[in-house]
Structure 1
């Protein structure tokens, strides 16, 4: 028997999780990793969920700013974040249509209890329909039984600061209710380019417990987030300008790349209310209603023809705007969206003897409205209409727009599963099936839109089987065979987008089919003083959808494009090793080898590029991380080194992003257990990208080919350049925190 007494802290650190908090013990029959407060609390207070899991096996995180507020891009086993399901307290929180996660809007790091990553094998019961690349689940900390609070004050380079405060109610009388409320303010200058970032966030969680195991909770979060965008370079631009390639600090007439024209807002409200009831006789009932609202404007800029612009496919007529120069009107394009997603997941579990039977139902209703308008810029770069109240009005009285989209979706899913324990609970067998039905309609209210309305219906049966065997109390082997699917993402897959500079649509909907995967895993894990987890995996995809983004020609407005690459085969191995605290040290190592291959030639018009057998994009062959944590109750710190090998940015493998190494360090000291009203105060220093490495962190916009090629049938197929995300700069942040 090994006993770990742990430590006491104000921020939830106990120093009992292997690998310095990076390797929570797992029993499920799939590859899965969990980080706990032992690790989370020692990271930067501004870190988002994707950044906090960046050291896990196979996770390729694309850092973009030192505050972690704008970077939501990652890939796992060659699948990007839109192919990964995101759950927060059991509710789906990514955008219901384009699957963008916006993880910095869910919860403050100080309130995260744990994050679990399933690399490739989704949970059968999860309310998701895009989990071909795996699943990420985050949970809040539980409210304390004692009244108190927590305060965290942070400052760093680039004028970064964060103030966080939480109040715990403790047990409220004998009601069985307890909860907390928190608020944070984050502000700083962008570490690349110009402009600022501002984030205001509120979290709340209340729970009521009664009886043997009955509980009801309410989770709430609200975010207002604003920042100035950064420019994505091509490889040629990166080699010539490096980090200095960005939007311009000073305005000259006609310059659409002025930084004040490039802004984004991410505002959101999330409400989740999980219920668990013990009905007796082995029956239990679970229900999780949820509501997610996301809304914001985002801006770009265009030079519009004063007399030759278009409204959809129709001539817009004279714009009659001031500050016209050489027949052009420089205008800020302001795009608005409002996305609502509400739903209910339910399950009924019946445990009898060694068998547990589960039946569940999920219903979701989601809407998405999106439109844009344009506001004239004066000769000094000022925009009088920053709030969009006074847009450019055409002679027919209509607002000049490039798109006016409305989407509606209903989802119904049923699942049935059975779990059987045999051989004195050493052998665990699971089997189940989920039937998912998604109905989606989209309309484009622009003149000439073809189609004006598009309706798509999807139905997929998704069986799963799994088995695990406990060789000893500390050793387990497991196997699973799973299926998953992904409904084509973004409105561009169903209707057109327009731009006033073009008489035709700038994007065309394709006849995309759902992406479908069949995967198998076999693995081994051991837990104890040292912890090991290793697995081999195989994944076969059909209709693999690669979502890319790029700028509309002549503008700084981003547009998504989804491409069907066809079949793909993904194979590889991953491993984790972590040690329980030994003489206060806890090392952690993870790694993955990945071989992802395209199975088909890629169609371009009436011809094909020879892509069969090429390595898939966004699929580094090797990822690895090395961590070392130290905590003796007073002094603490950790070191983390991440490596990603090079990865291709085109289907033809004619351009690739170089590999990179990045290192982060934490140092800290806990003061006396009590100092006046302050409990367990501590000082913490976080350093990110310690060497100040200038690197590309990920591929933002993939293309089929960077150079021109002759297709199979002799057609010349022109190339286009991918664009990339630039990694964050060196960041140093000092924080003082304490319990209250």
Structure 2
């Protein structure tokens, strides 16, 4: 079936029929669809190496001179037996080039993105939700891949989300498989589906691109990219660099900055195609904090972190610049693809290295019990010195000392306590309970995250006949992660949070090794208008934990899956309409984060989910729509509960998070969207998500029949966009209904509606310039205060209005 973007072929009669549809039909359409599965014809498929083809949910008919990715002009898709949706040009234009690549998928049905910081510049407060599955501080249940390769999980402690691998301008599209992931998806956390971020290819012609963005909160971003064009008749490449910074949007302190470099090449060698890519990303992010629903109602503009040093350690534990995430990520791969007459083969080795740190500010100095000052052979000497204690445990603590550094106790007669933060501390935290001359004493705590991954993916497709194709493959990865924690004295708590670089206590130092092997095979058979597929998949996962101090016991655990089944069918009812149904068993292995402390491994089991999808897709030259119904039976859900959460952090504990299986979950719902190209240069897009996720077992504070915490029950999107003669713009609104935020379903988080606005113009230039694009992006136009993601009982305030102006020049 051929697909074209020729809007002038759309008859006036067809448009009038759509516009004149009755109210009932309109509601059905608005709840019915996503245009993500347009089947490629053979001629377009043959030219796919030179034209970047995207599967899209909206905006297919835009006559846009869009400069961010000129090759993204054809809306195509793959026919699959499960719900899948892909971003398009309009969704890219809606976001500033300074935005996180995660933001582009927020309008797709079933997806909810929470970013507590402007432009996604805080990994700590970033959350993703789909069909009752979540990515955040407490859960990692959605797979994420970069050009089909695993990101190394998305958690805070040693994980990396897509924005650490890809600049916005280097993104071609994001592909979302809700609920059911493709059988070849290289992730063992894809219980709720997979998000694949696809980078764009080098340009055919030589080009230098320079861009600058400036906006609210002192936001600045510079971007440069050089495309070589055809170095030879067969090879092209690009190099890019960006620098970005912005202040915290809450209060007057805190900032984020990021440097990013990327390079990519593509070589076409007859039947072989070689693709290589490398990226480097270095970020420093000051964090935002979770608050309770009562705190939000009391003051929705403040997350309870402070802007100034008071000299009182208990108060200054909330000083924002002391809450920081520092990360450096390297990622590289080399892909070899063979396209033969009946056989296709792909082999991709990859490498990832991450080094980073998480910062916190305990309001006291620890008196350590036990431990040794002898340097252990199994640890690095990073931030240690003479007198550093290795190992041991928390004995007691003090927050004030005399001029000689001797710890002081509060006066017995004093009963006064502080009230901020976390409801106030004890008398020992209050400077009024000490005699004159007492000096504050506090700590700066570092948690170091270092990770190295090496792996490969491979697959073979064999066309036995025109009707029957076999596909098989494997994913192997060896991941080696170190995590350690050290405590440093703050030099003068009265003036700053600067610390002594030599730690006084190395609390723990551990190594985790995860070996993963995933094998799969699938058969696809076409009989007339029917296409059937069936497949098998198995994960073999082994985790090892080692105490580098040589104190705690060495442990190992196997987290293998059973054989997982997938099956599905597609019926091509007409050239424009297809019906599909699919079943998939998904699996998430126990993560190494769960065995960080001395938790009993037998108490936690791997997660699994049975996913059922059924739906209809409609697509033609001007209209794309779909509707999907789903049912998911989820067992052994693992939730990490941060110790202390919003009521204060237990800094003495070696374990910040307690993991537990919270029983089963049952999810069912509807995802739909519609995209229509009207009036030649206009596009309308709408999506609807209705989801009901409930716990099915009573475990601890989780009660059967309660709604799943932080899982949106109703979401709706409506967008109108325009593009003609270089002018483009649009407005988009997203509504998120009320949802429960805690396990007990006591917190009913309020609904919210966010409006985004964008406008721009593409200039055709002379005198050495190829093009110039000027645009303005406004996110959260009404400056709405709302609660985004978080953990059960603790929630991040969603980012306020952000205005960003952008200029891009092509030479």
Q: Same fold (TM over 0.5)?
A: yes
Q: Hey, what does 1:204 align to over in structure 2?
A: 263
Q: Hey, what does 1:683 align to over in structure 2?
A: 774
- Candidates 323, 326, 333, aligned match of 1:265: 326
Q: Hey, what does 1:543 align to over in structure 2?
A: 636
Q: Hey, what does 1:502 align to over in structure 2?
A: none
Answering whether residue 345 of structure 2 is matched by residue 285 of structure 1, we say: yes
- Candidates 558, 562, 572, aligned match of 2:659: 562
> Is the Cα–Cα contact under 8 Å of residues 593 and 622 in structure 1 kept in the other structure?
yes
Q: Hey, what does 2:116 align to over in structure 1?
A: 64
Q: Hey, what does 1:638 align to over in structure 2?
A: 730
- Candidates 587, 600, 619, aligned match of 1:527: 619
Q: Hey, what does 2:542 align to over in structure 1?
A: 439
1:99 Cα deviation after fit: 8.2
- Candidates 99, 106, 125, aligned match of 1:47: 99
The 1:192/1:478 distance shift into structure 2, 3 A limit, reads same
- Candidates 433, 438, 443, aligned match of 1:331: 443
Q: Hey, what does 1:409 align to over in structure 2?
A: 514
Residues 364-420 of structure 1, C-alpha deviations (whole Å, 9 max, x = no match): 10011011111111133435547x4x111xxxxxxx133322100111121111111
Q: Hey, what does 1:230 align to over in structure 2?
A: 288
Return the TM-score normalized by structure 1: 0.87
Return the TM-score normalized by structure 2: 0.80
The 1:650/1:679 distance shift into structure 2, 3 A limit, reads same
**Structure 1 CA distance for aligned equivalents of residues 265 and 734 of structure 2:** 37
Q: Hey, what does 2:699 align to over in structure 1?
A: 602
| Unmatched tracts of structure 1, length 5 or more | 19-23, 393-399, 498-506, 604-608, 703-721
Q: Hey, what does 1:169 align to over in structure 2?
A: 228
Answering whether residue 186 of structure 2 is matched by residue 109 of structure 1, we say: no
Q: Hey, what does 1:625 align to over in structure 2?
A: 717
**Structure 2 CA distance for aligned equivalents of residues 151 and 618 of structure 1:** 40
> Is the Cα–Cα contact under 8 Å of residues 65 and 726 in structure 2 kept in the other structure?
no
Q: Hey, what does 2:804 align to over in structure 1?
A: 733
The 1:374/1:325 distance shift into structure 2, 3 A limit, reads same
1:550 Cα deviation after fit: 4.8
Q: Hey, what does 1:93 align to over in structure 2?
A: 151
- Candidates 753, 760, 781, aligned match of 1:661: 753
Q: Hey, what does 2:142 align to over in structure 1?
A: 84
Answering whether residue 321 of structure 2 is matched by residue 246 of structure 1, we say: no
1:268 Cα deviation after fit: 0.5
Q: Hey, what does 1:430 align to over in structure 2?
A: 533
Q: Secondary structure at the match of 2:663?
A: strand
**Structure 2 CA distance for aligned equivalents of residues 649 and 39 of structure 1:** 28
> Is the Cα–Cα contact under 8 Å of residues 463 and 469 in structure 2 kept in the other structure?
yes
- Candidates 455, 467, 491, aligned match of 2:569: 467
The 1:723/1:151 distance shift into structure 2, 3 A limit, reads same
Task: Decide which structure has greater strand share.
Answer: 1
Q: Secondary structure at the match of 1:126?
A: coil
Q: Hey, what does 1:514 align to over in structure 2?
A: 606
Q: Hey, what does 1:397 align to over in structure 2?
A: none
> Is the Cα–Cα contact under 8 Å of residues 162 and 197 in structure 2 kept in the other structure?
no
Residues 643-672 of structure 1, C-alpha deviations (whole Å, 9 max, x = no match): 11122122221223222111111111122x
The 1:325/1:630 distance shift into structure 2, 3 A limit, reads farther
Answering whether residue 97 of structure 2 is matched by residue 4 of structure 1, we say: no
Q: Hey, what does 2:469 align to over in structure 1?
A: 356
1:323 Cα deviation after fit: 5.7
Q: Hey, what does 1:494 align to over in structure 2?
A: 595
By relative contact order (CA 8 Å, sep 6+), the higher-ranking structure is 2
**Structure 1 CA distance for aligned equivalents of residues 200 and 729 of structure 2:** 22
1:237 Cα deviation after fit: 2.1
1:103 Cα deviation after fit: 2.5
Answering whether residue 150 of structure 2 is matched by residue 150 of structure 1, we say: no
- Candidates 487, 505, 516, aligned match of 1:374: 487
1:326 Cα deviation after fit: 3.5
Larger mean Cα displacement after TM superposition, 251-260 or 568-577: 251-260
Q: Secondary structure at the match of 1:242?
A: coil
Q: Secondary structure at the match of 1:57?
A: coil
> Is the Cα–Cα contact under 8 Å of residues 116 and 798 in structure 2 kept in the other structure?
yes
Q: Hey, what does 1:477 align to over in structure 2?
A: 579
> Is the Cα–Cα contact under 8 Å of residues 86 and 135 in structure 1 kept in the other structure?
yes
> Is the Cα–Cα contact under 8 Å of residues 550 and 723 in structure 1 kept in the other structure?
no
The 1:582/1:32 distance shift into structure 2, 3 A limit, reads farther
The 1:309/1:406 distance shift into structure 2, 3 A limit, reads same
> Is the Cα–Cα contact under 8 Å of residues 267 and 296 in structure 1 kept in the other structure?
yes
1:63 Cα deviation after fit: 2.3
**Structure 1 CA distance for aligned equivalents of residues 154 and 294 of structure 2:** 35
Q: Secondary structure at the match of 2:91?
A: helix
Q: Secondary structure at the match of 1:274?
A: strand
1:148 Cα deviation after fit: 0.8
Q: Hey, what does 1:717 align to over in structure 2?
A: none
The 1:144/1:318 distance shift into structure 2, 3 A limit, reads closer
> Is the Cα–Cα contact under 8 Å of residues 478 and 516 in structure 2 kept in the other structure?
yes
**Structure 2 CA distance for aligned equivalents of residues 550 and 688 of structure 1:** 33
Q: In the comparison of the two structures, how many residue pairs are matched?
A: 684
**Structure 1 CA distance for aligned equivalents of residues 610 and 679 of structure 2:** 41
**Structure 1 CA distance for aligned equivalents of residues 757 and 657 of structure 2:** 36
The 1:113/1:432 distance shift into structure 2, 3 A limit, reads same
- Candidates 33, 45, 52, aligned match of 2:85: 33
The 1:52/1:315 distance shift into structure 2, 3 A limit, reads closer
1:582 Cα deviation after fit: 3.5
1:345 Cα deviation after fit: 0.9
1:151 Cα deviation after fit: 1.6
Q: Secondary structure at the match of 2:317?
A: coil
Residues 445-479 of structure 1, C-alpha deviations (whole Å, 9 max, x = no match): 56975x55343342331110011011112111001
The 1:235/1:260 distance shift into structure 2, 3 A limit, reads same
Larger mean Cα displacement after TM superposition, 619-628 or 312-321: 312-321
> Is the Cα–Cα contact under 8 Å of residues 65 and 762 in structure 2 kept in the other structure?
no
**Structure 2 CA distance for aligned equivalents of residues 3 and 586 of structure 1:** 15
**Structure 2 CA distance for aligned equivalents of residues 155 and 7 of structure 1:** 24
Answering whether residue 791 of structure 2 is matched by residue 701 of structure 1, we say: yes
Q: Hey, what does 1:75 align to over in structure 2?
A: 129
Structure 1 or 2, whichever has the larger Rg, is 2
The 1:675/1:411 distance shift into structure 2, 3 A limit, reads same
1:276 Cα deviation after fit: 0.5
1:100 Cα deviation after fit: 4.3
1:181 Cα deviation after fit: 0.5
1:555 Cα deviation after fit: 4.1
Q: Hey, what does 2:240 align to over in structure 1?
A: 182
> Is the Cα–Cα contact under 8 Å of residues 53 and 59 in structure 1 kept in the other structure?
yes
Q: Secondary structure at the match of 2:119?
A: coil
1:116 Cα deviation after fit: 0.5
Q: Hey, what does 1:419 align to over in structure 2?
A: 524
1:126 Cα deviation after fit: 1.3
Q: Secondary structure at the match of 1:473?
A: coil
**Structure 2 CA distance for aligned equivalents of residues 465 and 324 of structure 1:** 70
Q: Hey, what does 2:435 align to over in structure 1?
A: none
Q: Hey, what does 1:503 align to over in structure 2?
A: none
Alignment of 1:272-311 (within 5 A): 272-280=333-341, 282-305=342-365, 307=367
